[in-house]
Amino acid sequence: MCAMLDNSPIHPLFDNAPSTTEFKKLRKRIIKETRQAICDFGMLEPGARWLVCLSGGKDSYTLLAALTELQWRGLLPIEILACNLDQGQPNFPATILPKFLKEMRVPNRIEYQDTYSIVTEKVPKGRTYCSLCSRLRRGILYRIAREEGCSAIVLGHHREDILETFMLNLFHGSRLAAMPPKLLNDEGDVFVYRPLAYVAEADCDKFSRAMDYPIIPCDLCGSQDGLQRQNIKELLNSWEQKHPGRKQKIFRGLMNSNPSHLLDTNIFDFKGLVRNSAPKKLKSDKTPNT
């Protein structure tokens, strides 16, 4: 798709990149898949400003690096504003990301909002925090995007996140739905993009570890056992182990739907399906008796 990894100058985010052939292939694959998703789902608006959300996890670091390289090489003509939302979790290392972003010379905004207290107060004991936490976080990010003149919130969800959401909706919500790579908010003024939609979680993990980025674990939901998403992850991983390539086949299925072969009357007009003519009567090979 594009020439990568030549001898041209690189962004500070890649100053310590390994020189091994294996890493170069990994990096090239991630960049290629990220660019492909941006093209396939119509994310590119030249001159736009993107609020790139950085949690400190492996996925968001990979997202920032991939977008920055595309921008650095003139393939993504947009402005990037990295944003970290400190949600007030106990023992959150609040100095790591500001220090990292300053050293990498990445424009950024650090926002503090104590959603942790709200979530732990409102969610009954034994229930997962993810849903409420996500809603609160998204509302804050929309506000920041508007304040900063950003047309899109950009998230680091990868292929497995999309697959797990699809399976969760199927098994627990009785509906066929996943995470869309491109979404317009209800107000119609801010997009939500997921440029890593084609990127495997394992590649994000390998990449961020190889680059030795300062990973920050999520102590809010990560401390809860028995999450349904974790169960789905284990199920998908077991399928992949027994049948390599299974994840990608399911993922490709999300891109190859056939409404007339499902049962949703809202997306296919079964009642309006009519014959063009009466059935044709087949001629018999037998000669009738006279």
Strand partners of residue 83: 53, 109
Residues 177-236: tens digit of each pLDDT: 999 999 999 999 999 999 999 999 999 999 999 999 999 876 555 444 447 888 899 999
The label of the residue with tokens 């993810």 reads 130
Three-state DSSP at 177 gives coil
- Residue 64 is inside which H or E element, if any? helix 58-72
Query: Can you tell me the distance from the alpha carbon of 142 to that of 165, in angstroms, rounded to the nearest whole number?
Result: 22
Residues 96-147: tens digit of each pLDDT: 999 999 999 999 999 998 877 777 777 777 666 667 777 888 889 999 999 9
Query: Can you tell me the distance from the alpha carbon of 3 to that of 30, in angstroms, rounded to the nearest whole number?
Result: 13
Mean pLDDT across the chain: 87
Nearest residue to 133 (alpha-carbon basis) of 231, 230, 224, 232: 224
Residues 45-68: tens digit of each pLDDT: 999 999 999 989 999 999 999 999
pTM (two decimals): 0.86
Distance from CA of residue 65 to its chain's centroid?
15
Average pLDDT over residues 148-172: 95
Nearest residue to 195 (alpha-carbon basis) of 32, 86, 1: 32
Taking every pair of Cα atoms in the chain, the longest distance, rounded to a whole number of angstroms, is 100
The label of the residue with tokens 């962004």 reads 11
84 and 111 in contact (C-beta within 8 Å)?
Answer: yes
Residue 225: the pLDDT is 43
Dihedral of the alpha carbons of 41, 208, 26, 69, in degrees to the nearest 10? 60
Per-residue confidence band for 163, with pLDDT thresholds at 50, 70 and 90:
very high
**How many other CB atoms are there within 10 angstroms of residue 195's CB atom?**
29
28 and 5 in contact (C-beta within 8 Å)?
Answer: yes
28 and 79 in contact (C-beta within 8 Å)?
Answer: no
Q: Class for domain 15-256, per CATH?
A: alpha beta
**How many other CB atoms are there within 10 angstroms of residue 165's CB atom?**
18
Nearest residue to 105 (alpha-carbon basis) of 206, 231, 12, 218: 12
Residue 129: the pLDDT is 66
First to last CA, the chain: 74
Confidence check: pLDDT of 9 > 80: no
Domain spans of the chain, in order of start = 15-256
Per-residue confidence band for 288, with pLDDT thresholds at 50, 70 and 90:
low
Query: How large a percentage of the chain has pLDDT more than 70?
Result: 89
57 and 84 in contact (C-beta within 8 Å)?
Answer: no
Residue 222: the pLDDT is 45
Query: Can you tell me the distance from the alpha carbon of 245 to that of 250, in angstroms, rounded to the nearest whole number?
Result: 9
